[in-house]
Amino acid sequence: MFPADKLKEEAINHFQQGHRREALAAFEAAAQAYGAANQPADQAEMLNNIGVLQRLFGQYEAALMTFETAATAFATAGDKNRQAMVFGNMGDLYAARKKRVEAARHYSNAAQLFAEAGDYQRQSEVLRALSLLSVRYMRWLEALAYMEQSLDARPRLGLGQRIFRGLIRFMMALMGRG
In the chain, the percentage of residues whose pLDDT exceeds 70 is 98
CB 151 within 8 A of CB 165: yes
What CA–CA distance (Å, rounded) separates 37 from 54?
Answer: 24
Residue 53 confidence (pLDDT)? 97
Write out pLDDT tens, residues 37-83: 999 999 999 999 999 999 999 999 999 999 999 999 999 999 999 99
> Is a pLDDT exceeding 60 seen at residue 178?
no
Local confidence band at 165 (pLDDT 50, 70, 90 cut-offs): confident
Degrees to nearest 5, angle at CA 64 with 68 and 116: 45
Burial (CB count <10 Å: 0-12, 13-18, 19+), residue 167: exposed
b/e string for 8-31 if b means 16 or more Cβ within 10 A? bebbeebbeeeeeeebbbbbbbbb
Burial (CB count <10 Å: 0-12, 13-18, 19+), residue 40: middle
Nearest to 141 by CA among 175, 105, 117, 110: 175
Residue 3 confidence (pLDDT)? 87
Local confidence band at 1 (pLDDT 50, 70, 90 cut-offs): low
Nearest to 144 by CA among 105, 97, 118, 176: 176
Domains of the chain from N-terminus onward: 1-78 (1.25.40.10), 80-178 (1.25.40.10)
What CA–CA distance (Å, rounded) separates 60 from 57?
Answer: 8
SS3 call for 79:
coil
Write out pLDDT tens, residues 87-112: 999 999 999 999 999 999 999 999 99
